[in-house]
A and B are shown apart, each in its own frame.
With several copies, the nearest count.
Chain A
Amino acid sequence: MDLELDADQLELRDHARAFLADACPPSLVRGVYEGTGTADGLWKSMVDLGWPALGIDVADDGLGQGFIAEAVLVGELGRVVAPTPYLATVTQLAPMLAEAGAHDVLARIAAGTCTGTLAVHETTAKASRHITAQAIPIGGGRRVLDGTKTHVLDGATADEVAVVVRGGPDDERGLGIVLVPREAFDAEPLIVIDPTMPLATLHLDGIEVDADRVLIEPGSPEAGWRIGLVQAHATVAMAISCVATCRAILEATVEYAKQRHQFGRPIGSFQAIKHRLADLYLAVERADALAWYAACTIAEQDRSGHAPMAAHMAKAAAGDCQRLATRDGLQLHGGIGFTWENDLHFLLKRAVTTAFLFGDAASHRVQLAQCRGLEA
């Protein structure tokens, strides 16, 4: 087991970091926050660099570099709070398309001409992980949708949305996936704490989809299991993003603690501050190691059942790490970090957002325990 990046991956990381330092400075993020700018140019540059194609199979017109390369970019984008459709398109929609063998849309993603997302969560569900949205057969392989999805990342702007549905009202286990184009439904953008991660509620009632847009037939063999693998993939990417943002908070806080003087010395020389930051470092390392372990299970297309468990551990640890990073990052910055003018809050809000999407720490611990056969 080798959990370090190899030379190519390290080069990709350094290249991405250098590119983003220029292409995604805090001023760009601020522009998106304050409504005075957009990140359209950033996405165009990323497309020009071939980033959306990076992890997609060569057979689907991608570069075939696999998930680790993709995750390296996810981490770098998370570090700088980049406002791009990368996360939803590449780590949520694309793996679903790959699982379903949807070559055409994948090729459009690789070419940078299509963005997308995955719609899972429902507010109306009694239990947040329970799916009630339905795709009811209406003959000829066509289906009509019924339900509402919410907290869908890029849901109001993505070109294509893969929707997790049931095959009908009585079909308790029959999960499936339909692909819905942007123009087909009403999307209600939500006003969120982090506008670089735009969320929307999608109203799907009455939308009809053709047979070729049923990516995974509800109730088909292993449908639930296959959807679970894609969710694990998306979850791990979210964990990688979250931990990278937390590491940026750690680094910003360490830097601040070295510069800021109080009582005649840098506050970073006070032992209590040191130990807090050492604990935060430990939390970041713990979450990072678990996230990259989980990334390996995705990259190696592990189907032994370990990938979902690894994803649960990764996202749980990312959530733990975010809690500490947000708290200590803000507290140790003192008043400065509390101001809108300082860039810290972009990191804090992004960290919270990625920690809460696709399941928080407690939720993933419960799911991990269930995988282990421990249920109350």
Chain B
Amino acid sequence: MRLQFDDSVEAFRAELLEWLALNRPSAETMAADPSVSTGHAPEWARRWTRTMFDAGWLVPGWPPELGGRNATPTQTLVYLEELAKAGVPRTTNVQGLGIVAPSIIDYGSEAQIRDYAMRILRGEATACLGMSEPDAGSDLAALRTRAVRDGDHFVVDGQKVWTSGANYADFCFVFCRTDPDVPKHKGISILIVDMDSPGITVRPLPEIVHPEHPDLNEVFFDGVQVPADHLVGELNAGWAMANGSLAHERGMVWVSAVQGISEAMAHLHEEAPDRIDALPPDERALAIDRITQVEIDAFAARCLGYRAFAKLARGGSAPEQALMKLFTSETRQAVAEVAAALQGPDALVVGGASFDGHQAIDEPQGTWLEQYFVSFANTISAGTSEIQRTIIAERVLGLPREPRPA
């Protein structure tokens, strides 16, 4: 138990920072052509991905041929922290780089790796993740989108919803039901589907704030023909891969989540003195105390993250990730709520906020009140907070599962 990293980690950090200073896209470059959806990679983003890939800084923990440098987990942690601190996105296509590419590399064929994963890694393509459905939001086993084998193709029919980035992505990682006759979680497979395939309709779903920049979509599949060799891994083995994919997503998501919280706290601390000064005396201590409460949460999130990381590095498991997902998403929400309350009626005024692009899922846009609303994306998606609590209760605390309904 100690507060400092050892010298080799610090040397790694120094090398990264030096490289970043020379190669990163400037804030002006990014603002001039913002990413308007998590499936959208503007020109600068594509170049930046390629630059990182070539230098082995895209996925440092992977070998050089996959855009990495065989970094240790601790080095990867430092990498993610420093990138977040520098205010430069690792990617604008978070699910492509974070889930789809690793899943294809883990489970896909050589051709799939070459044609899809590597194109994501080189900044040539973006991907979206087709999991949620209208009647299967948090309940993947209930999904209904069907893929029926027909010669050398699958024919896909059905509907996905909440598909981030589908309005811009080049392809979709689609979870489909390929065997309707077995128990619900057993007949699921994953297909790679090109988004320009005939029969796909994408309907953007404007959000509660900033409806002019939709990122979520409904995706309709109507007799979409998908080559049979676009099946990822084994037929009907999608459930196990989903757990693998989610683990990819959740493994170190806390790093950017924690960094997002820190940045939000830094903004709040900037604003706080003037706002507090404007309050009647007896309200000041209350406002300060609310800020202090979230400040403690913010710091606790970082400490918890480091501890979860230490456990993960020693072979720990998913429940720690449930705790981090729950705590960071609720803390981010609380920071926005406290900051909006501090603004009082000024919080209601939203005209002044600019939109600087979907740079990372943990960076809600706009005013504090808008950020508060947007923050629910993180307490709802990828397993609601309610589901995280159930996971913690059952898998960490060992409480009995609910009896099956009669």
| A, B in one complex | yes
A interface residues, Cβ below 8 angstroms from B: 1-6, 9, 68, 121, 123, 125-130, 150-151, 190-194, 199, 254, 257-258, 261-266, 268-275, 277-279, 281-282, 285-287, 289-290, 292-293, 295-297, 299-300, 302, 313, 316-317, 323, 327, 330-331, 334-335, 337-341, 345, 348, 352-353, 356-357, 360, 362-363, 365-366, 368-370, 372-376
Contact: B278 with A190, CB < 8 Å? no
Residues in chain B near residue A129, CB distance under 8 A = 280
Contact: A352 with B300, CB < 8 Å? no
Q: Choose, from B122-130, B193-201, B344-352, the stretch at the interface.
A: B344-352
Contact: B132 with A289, CB < 8 Å? no
Contact: A254 with B399, CB < 8 Å? yes
**Known A4-B311, A290-B296, A339-B206; 16 more pairs at CB < 8 Å:** A194-B348, A199-B348, A265-B405, A266-B400, A268-B400, A274-B399, A290-B299, A293-B3, A293-B299, A341-B205, A345-B373, A348-B373, A362-B283, A365-B286, A368-B295, A369-B291
Among B349, B393, B399, B405, the residue within 8 A (CB) of A192 is: B349
Known: A271-B402, A340-B208, A366-B286. A191 touches B1 (CB 8 A): no
Chain B interface residue number, banded: 35 or more
Which of B283, B303, B346, B379 counts the most chain A CB atoms within 10 A? Answer: B303
Chain B min CB distance to A244 (Å): 15
Residues in chain A near residue B373, CB distance under 8 A = 330, 345, 348
Contact: A376 with B379, CB < 8 Å? no
Residues in chain A near residue B138, CB distance under 8 A = 262-263, 334
Contact: A193 with B402, CB < 8 Å? no
Chain A min CB distance to B220 (Å): 16
Contact: B351 with A190, CB < 8 Å? yes
Among B206, B282, B333, B397, the residue within 8 A (CB) of A277 is: B397
Return the CB mask of B198-219 against A: 1 if under 8 Å, else 0. Answer: 0000000111110100001000
Residues in chain A near residue B137, CB distance under 8 A = 262, 334-335
Does chain A have a CB within 8 A of B276?
yes
A121 vs B280: C-alpha distance in the bound complex, in angstroms?
A: 13
Return the CB mask of B57-74 against A: 1 if under 8 Å, else 0. Answer: 000000000000000000
A37 vs B194: C-alpha distance in the bound complex, in angstroms?
A: 40
Residues in chain B near residue A375, CB distance under 8 A = 282, 288
A375 vs B287: C-alpha distance in the bound complex, in angstroms?
A: 10
Top 8 A-B pairs, shortest CB-CB distance: A191-B351, A274-B393, A376-B284, A289-B303, A340-B206, A376-B285, A278-B389, A4-B310
Residues in chain B near residue A293, CB distance under 8 A = 3, 299, 303
B interface residues, Cβ below 8 angstroms from A: 1-5, 132, 135-139, 142, 161-162, 205-209, 211, 216, 269, 272-273, 276-289, 291-293, 295-297, 299-300, 303-304, 306-307, 310-311, 314, 323, 326-327, 333, 337, 341, 344-352, 369-370, 373, 376-377, 379-381, 384-386, 388-390, 392-394, 396-403, 405
Contact: A273 with B392, CB < 8 Å? no
Known: A193-B348, A375-B282. A365 touches B296 (CB 8 A): yes
Among B2, B288, B350, B394, the residue within 8 A (CB) of A191 is: B350
A135 vs B289: C-alpha distance in the bound complex, in angstroms?
A: 35
Chain B min CB distance to A321 (Å): 11
Known: A128-B344, A269-B403, A277-B397. A335 touches B392 (CB 8 A): no
Chain A min CB distance to B162 (Å): 5
Which of A5, A193, A263, A287 counts the most chain B CB atoms within 10 A? Answer: A193
Q: Which residue of chain B has its CB nearest to the CB of A251?
A: B397
Contact: A289 with B393, CB < 8 Å? no
A194 vs B208: C-alpha distance in the bound complex, in angstroms?
A: 12
A25 vs B24: C-alpha distance in the bound complex, in angstroms?
A: 51
Which of B292, B381, B402 counts the most chain A CB atoms within 10 A? Answer: B292
Chain B min CB distance to A254 (Å): 5
